[in-house]
């Protein structure tokens, strides 16, 4: 049976992969997005709300994933719960501290956006593969 961890990893991986591919295809895309979010309190609130909603969904769906009767816990479910938890924390931070986080984002994306995009591409591919393995 294919369960929540596989679907969560697959869709989160696909999203991460295409976002990273978009930055590699059109350099500066992420920096422009960060600038737009910094300039608009409405976008800050919506970004936080969307990420909070997605983080809660990823966390709760994987928390409810059935554990094997014997043996170690499902590593993919644990990983997805941790990622969901980080998404929740980041969403709350974006909503409350955008003015403090913006300089950090600008610094990280200043000259290294291509590097972050490559890391995102690899991480996305790894999540896609981890999800697809469960379908076999």
Q: Please report the pLDDT score of residue 68 as a whole number.
A: 66
Give the model's pLDDT for residue 133: 95
Is residue 36 assigned to a domain? yes
| Residue 70 covered by a domain | no
Q: Which residue is associated with the tokens 């043996």?
A: 71
Structure tokens belonging to residue 132:
């697809």
**124 lies in some domain:** yes
pLDDT tens digits for the chain (136 residues)?
A: 558 999 999 999 999 999 999 999 999 899 899 889 999 999 999 999 999 999 999 999 998 766 667 667 789 999 999 999 999 999 999 999 998 988 888 887 776 788 999 999 999 999 999 999 998 8
Question: Could you tell me the pTM of the whole model?
Answer: 0.88
Q: What is the span of the domain harbouring residue 55? A: 4-65+75-133
Look at the block and give the residue holding tokens 């350099």.
27
Whether residue 21 lies inside any domain: the answer is yes
How large is the C-alpha radius of gyration of the chain? Answer: 16
Tokens encoding 20: 């990273």
Whether 41 maps to a domain, the answer reads: yes
Domain count, the chain: 1
Q: Distances in Å between the alpha carbon of 124 and those of 32, 61, 71, 110, 130?
A: 22, 19, 28, 22, 10
Q: Give the Å distances, CA to CA, from 81 to 4, 8, 46.
A: 11, 10, 23
Distance from the Cα of residue 123 to its chain's centroid? 10
Q: Please state, in angstroms and rounded to a whole number, the distance separating the CA atoms of residues 105 and 89.
A: 16
Query: Which pLDDT does position 42 carry in this prediction?
Result: 96
For residue 113, the model assigns a pLDDT of 84
In a domain, residue 44? The reply is: yes
């Amino acid at each position: 049976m294919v369960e929540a961890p596989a679907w969560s990893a697959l869709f989160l991986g696909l999203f991460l992969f295409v976002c990273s591919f978009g930055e590699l295809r059109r350099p500066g895309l992420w920096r422009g997005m960060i600038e737009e979010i910094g300039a608009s309190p409405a976008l800050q609130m919506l970004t936080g709300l969307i990420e909070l909603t997605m983080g809660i969904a990823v966390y709760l769906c994987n928390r409810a994933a059935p554990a094997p009767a014997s043996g170690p816990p499902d590593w993919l479910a644990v990983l997805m719960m941790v990622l969901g938890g980080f998404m929740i924390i980041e969403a709350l931070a974006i909503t409350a501290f955008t003015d403090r986080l913006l300089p950090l984002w600008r610094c990280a994306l200043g000259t290294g956006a291509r590097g972050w995009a490559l890391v995102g591409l690899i991480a996305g591919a790894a999540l896609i593969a981890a999800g697809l393995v469960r379908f076999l």
